[in-house]
Copies of this chain bind each other. A is one copy, B any other.
Amino acid sequence: MKLITRNTDYALRAICYIAKQKNVVTVTELVRVLGVPRPFMRKILQQLSKEKILKSYKGQSGGFKLKLFPEKIFIIQIMHIFQGQVSLSECFLKKDICPNRGKCVLRKKIRQIENNALGQLRQISIASLVKG
């Protein structure tokens, strides 16, 4: 039960760092600060800019900036980018086999728990991480 994976984690930290800087930030700088493998960091940042979380600048003295205000970026969006559908517990028994699906208690309880977690994740913004 790993809530967030490594790339999400790195992405969040990179975003937080960028949020605190005034100027554009290069991969080189992020690699230095976070101690993450460079090509991996690059890939992550490229994804983030493709997904309109970051804005990128090419060429010499290029780099990355936030595209949105830190108040407008939430953990769950980033998780969604790197971990796909942060989705409700799928039932593994096929539809026609699960005895009382729709009323399945297990399913219901798991869904409740996941909804709680998702609700919390939806509320945590980059701004709230950077402030603390």
Contact = CB atoms under 8 A, between A and B. Distances in A.
Interface of A: 1-4, 6, 9-10, 12-13, 16, 33-36, 75, 79, 83, 86-87, 89-94, 97, 99, 103, 105-106, 108-110, 112-114, 116-117, 120-121, 124, 128-129, 131-132
A117 B24 CA distance: 38
B34 A97 contact: yes
The dominant DSSP class at the A interface is helix
Instruction: Give the copy number.
Output: 2
Given A106-B13, A112-B120, A35 B4 contact: no
A37 B55 CA distance: 49
Contacts of A94: 35
A78 to B, nearest CB: 11
Interface centre among A1, A89, A112, A128 (most CB of B within 10 A): A1
Contacts of A87: 1
Contacts of A110: 3-4
